[in-house]
Structure 1
Amino acid sequence: MPTTGKATTTEILEGRRDRDSGAVSVLGADLAWRGRAGIVLRESGDHADLTVQEVLRHFSTYHPDSRDPDEVIDAVGLGGRERALT
Structure 2
Amino acid sequence: MVRKLLVISGNVQDGGIRYFAQMNASSLKLTGCTRRGSGGTVEIELQGEEANINKLIEKLKAGNGFFTVDNIEVKDIEVNPSEKLFSIK
Greater C-alpha radius of gyration: 1
TM value normalised by structure 1: 0.29
From the two aligned structures, give the one with the greater strand fraction. Answer: 2
| Higher RCO (C-alpha 8 Å, min separation 6) | 2
TM value normalised by structure 2: 0.29
